[in-house]
Chains A and B, each alone.
Chain A
Amino acid sequence: MSDDGADAADASSPTDREYAEWLDALADGDGFAVVCPEGHGSLPPRRVCPECGSPELSREPLDETGTVETYSVVHVPSPRFADDAPYATAVVDFGPTRLTGVVRDGDAERDGDDAAPAVAIGDAVTVDIGERATDGERLVAFRPAAGETPAEDE
């Protein structure tokens, strides 16, 4: 099963094309949500809005800075994150939609360190692409917004 899991996690897999393209956009600083005329935001691929069913969808940029709505420091990982734990995962509001990702402290030296970066609800963060320590796969990464001081350790 873990072998299958590794294959399925390959973002270059043709079966996950839309997801790979969305990650590419995030990496280029062009992260987007799919938004309907009612303003419901969601993540691709979408043929219709999941909230109201509207087929009139357009790509809207994510807010430059997001707000952490909740987070958890994960100590017991799945096999795909075996070498990443402990790590902080968070749900962040980026305007048209929320994103779920892993919090990195913005210091490349420390990423993959054995302490998860400190994070708190209400923190301002930016989003880009990080690397999973376990196997190098790309993932959604949040970093403290410029000028923000990371929260103190609990």
Chain B
Amino acid sequence: MSEVRVAGVGLTPFGSHPERTGRDLFAEAALRAFEDAAVARSDVEELNYGNFMGSLAEHQGHQAPLMAEAAGVRCPATRYESACASAGVAVREAVRTVAAGDVDVVLAGGMERMTNLPTDEVTEGLAIAADDLFEVRSGVTFPGAYALMANAYFDAYGGTREDLAHVASKNHANAVPNEYAQYRKEVSVDEAMDAPPVAEPLHLYDACPITDGASALVLVSEEYAADRDLDAPVAVTGTGQGTDRMALGDRDSLARTPAADDAADAAYADADIGADAVDVAEVHDCFTIAEVLALESLGLFEPGEGIAAAREGVTTADGDLPVNLSGGLKAKGHPVGATGGSQIAELTRLLRGDHPNSDHVPDAEVGVAHNAGGTVASAVVHVLEVAE
């Protein structure tokens, strides 16, 4: 077993780039990752690439060889698809491969191009992450599914739309200094409350935007980093994944996300830490309620207590446990197949001290990233630690 180090991270600015090809987006992210890593492209032994709807958005299947070309690497290249957790599973397989000692250097990340499609086609495209027969044909949209979970949560534990508006407001505030974020503007709780409904109880500012973007990470073994005297102080010490029934209605609970519970348990066990060791978190807030569910699955809050975390200031930038200092999917943006890699990139920068929001977590040693697919039928959790 080898320890896995993050040698370099690269992102495109997240936002609306309808005219840019997917291959150019991933090329930019990879270029930045190699610059950050100071690792030779010729040393890359595998490319693990996440993408969800490229077949719809660009009429382009079989994207992995194309992205290997774009990144300038020639090695086994594979596309991973797990809806919004596509990059999360790509990174997880990279971590496992390096940890197992099979290879020393992997390029992992993902890309999604979305804004070139009309909004209704994106809505339809995202809905296919749910069960087509028994959910989508019954009128369930992607926001609608999370709205079903939000109402189930309110019914089980209490909570209000205003609690969720505090999550939106917090994440928008965090995005303001982040040069990679799509929406670098504050949104007040009142503005969020007054926004038009999408799927009640979720309104416009409860939802992440439609985003183009890419993420790339250069992951290396500790031995490789030491041999080349790389500046790679952050290690991925834990990885975990969980799967649940595809359709929301088939889950044990509509107000919980057991796949993420399983992923978190496995990742913490792998890292040999408990949830109480976590100093900072990046979680999958595709909708504000999703952040609440994530915090509870990660064991950072008891069931029913995550809803008040933003309102009470626990998870704000100045709180005891800052969550989504990047701005989250909510304000930084959610290029579906890139998000899992982006979360690791942001967490690495936060722990290294070179993120614009690092000053809020100067002593952070342990970070956790939570990436979810669909309505959390898939979940991936990673633990990152400052190793030196």
Contacts and interface: CB of A to CB of B under 8 A. Distances in A.
Do A and B assemble together? yes
Nearest to A50: B245
B143 interface: yes
B147 interface: yes
A72 B200 contact: yes
B141 A76 contact: yes
Interface in A71-90: 71-82, 84, 87, 89-90
Nearest to A9: B137
A121 B155 contact: yes
A31 interface: no
B141 A50 contact: no
A78 B56 contact: no
Residue among A42, A70, A71 with the highest chain B CB neighbour number at 10 A: A70
Contacts of A78: 120, 123-124, 127, 136, 141
Interface of B is mostly: helix
A107 B151 CA distance: 26
A71 B202 CA distance: 12
B139 A87 contact: yes
Contact of B148 (A50, A89, A137): A89
A146 to B, nearest CB: 23
Interface residues of A, number: 40
B199 A70 contact: no
A99 B249 contact: yes
Nearest to B245: A50
B250 A50 contact: yes
Interface in B132-147: 132-141, 143-144, 147
A64 to B, nearest CB: 19
Contact of A76 (B123, B125, B148, B247): B123
21 contacts: A1-B121, A1-B125, A42-B250, A50-B250, A70-B155, A72-B150, A72-B201, A73-B200, A74-B141, A74-B199, A76-B198, A76-B199, A78-B123, A81-B141, A84-B139, A89-B144, A98-B249, A101-B139, A102-B139, A121-B152, A140-B137
Interface of A: 1-2, 5, 8-9, 11, 16, 19, 42-43, 50, 69-82, 84, 87, 89-91, 97-102, 121, 137, 139-140
Q: Which 3 A-B pairs have the closest CB atoms?
A: A72-B147, A70-B152, A98-B249
